């Protein structure tokens, strides 16, 4: 599975559990350890569900999960798929660590399902 397909799998898995503020970055020019970083937000219970959904989707696609950490607290749950590292974080933790500043030099434009849905809120 190529990197674009892996990224789509991850983003779809995040959207399925209603992750907030999904961002992806090309890190291949910054580090040789992985090619993409994905960052998403959710509440404490949701961050674990986000990670679990990614792990399930990855395993069904035949991808190996190299690491899964942080589920016990839910503040920051990391999933390492080798080529892609996913950070599911509570908003306050995400703001504090500001991983976008570290990895954000090469953002990837995502075609999110939520971008295509009408806003039905009463705002």
Assign residue 21 the CATH number of its domain. 3.30.460.10
Q: Residue 105 belongs to what domain range?
A: 3-111
Specify the long-range contacts of residues 18-25, CB closer than 8 Å, at least 24 apart. 18/42, 18/46, 19/46, 19/50, 19/88, 20/91, 21/91, 21/94, 22/110, 22/112, 23/100, 23/104, 23/107, 23/110, 24/107, 24/108, 24/110, 25/100, 25/103, 25/104, 25/105, 25/106, 25/107, 25/108
Give a yes or no: residue 119 inside a domain.
Answer: no
Give a yes or no: residue 40 inside a domain.
Answer: yes
Give a yes or no: residue 9 inside a domain.
Answer: yes
Residue 103, token pair as written in the block: 């990895």
What is the reported pTM?
Answer: 0.89
Number of domains in the chain: 1
Chain segment 91-120, per-residue pLDDT in tens: 999 999 999 999 999 999 998 876 544 444
Give a yes or no: residue 22 inside a domain.
Answer: yes
Give a yes or no: residue 61 inside a domain.
Answer: yes
């Amino acid at each position: 599975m190529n990197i674009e397909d892996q990224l789509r799998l991850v983003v779809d898995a995040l959207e399925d559990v209603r992750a907030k503020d999904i961002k992806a970055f090309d890190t291949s020019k910054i580090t040789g350890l992985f090619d993409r970083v994905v960052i998403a937000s959710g509440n404490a219970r949701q961050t674990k569900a986000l990670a679990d959904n990614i792990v399930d989707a990855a395993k069904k696609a035949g991808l190996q999960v190299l690491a899964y950490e942080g589920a016990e607290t839910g503040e920051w749950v990391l999933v390492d798929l080798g080529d892609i590292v996913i950070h599911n974080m509570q908003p306050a933790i995400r703001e504090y660590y500001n991983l976008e500043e570290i990895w954000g030099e090469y953002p990837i434009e995502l075609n999110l399902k939520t971008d295509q849905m009408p806003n039905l809120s009463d705002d």
